[in-house]
Amino acid sequence: MATGNENDVVLGCDGGRRPGCITSHVVEGSMESYRFYLSRRTAMEMLSDRGCDVSDSDLSLSLTEFHSQFGPNPDLQQLRICVSLRSNPSKKIVVIFCGTEEIRKQTMCGIYAGLPNKENIHRLILVLQSKMNSYARKELEMYPFKVETFHICDLLVNITKHALKPKLEILTAEEKNKLLRKYKLEDKQLPLMLETDGIARYYGLEKGKVVKVTYSGGVVGSLRTFRCVV
């Protein structure tokens, strides 16, 4: 058995081996179950960073504990996550892991029909393993709440934990207005961040949100800038 941290593994999107991958860390279960472990852990971290009530035990769940809780071949239904917003406990974010078959309109209709207490859902996050066709994406527009999609490969690593990532702070509406008044600017005059940017997607940022970005270290010491999501 290889030594090291069981979390420090990079997997290909096809679940296969790559040069340098520490696949021997998967002591039990399949490579597929390990991908579920990594992606679910990142989803938990993402939800916590978005202001959801996520327990410490979910954030620190080890691979061994994951297999003990979900088995070596996890059932997708059991992998579902439903957590409350700390700012409004009646509102929930739901995360659903989808199968390997193509996501069709019927799939989305079935997912929606199976959601309890729809009026309490703030957002729905779908973790995909396959393509979603245009009819399914059109169906998402009918949902009464925002739906986000991530491919499972996007969640194998938490991009915010990179050592070189700057510190990010999401401004409230009041903080944003104060900033714009102070420098006599409009949104479009700030440096921009696309809504499709990986960081914007991680935090679920919508157009108009402003992020304070602080870079530390290097020859510049500390540098602060602001970016508006478009």
95-133 pLDDT per residue, tens: 999 999 999 999 999 999 999 999 999 999 999 999 999
Does domain 23-158 fall into CATH 3.40.1340.10?
yes
Give the closest residue to 202 by CA, choosing from 33, 74, 53, 45. 45
| pLDDT tens sequence across 52-65 | 999 999 999 999 99
Looking at residue 28, what is its pLDDT? Answer: 54
Give me the helices (H) in 23-151, please: 31-49, 56-59, 63-70, 105-113, 134-140
Domain boundaries, the chain: 23-158, 162-229
Cβ contact 123:146 at 8 Å:
yes
As assigned by CATH, the class of the 162-229 domain is alpha beta
Confidence of residue 20 (pLDDT cuts 50, 70, 90): very low
Q: Quick check: helix, strand or coil at residue 50?
A: coil
The two tokens of residue 75 are: 């059932």
pTM: 0.85
Instruction: Tell the burial category of 94 from Cβ atoms under 10 Å away from its Cβ (0-12, 13-18, 19+).
Output: buried
Tokens 């290889």 belong to which residue?
Answer: 2
Tokens read off for 35: 């991908």
Q: Are 10 and 157 in contact (CB under 8 A)?
A: yes
CA 23 to chain centre: 24
Q: Given this model, what pLDDT does residue 18 score?
A: 47
Q: How far apart are CA 171 and CA 117, in angstroms?
A: 30
Burial of 32 (0-12, 13-18, 19+ CB in 10 A): middle
Judged against a pLDDT cut of 90, whether residue 36 lies above it is answered with yes
20 vs 42, more confident: 42
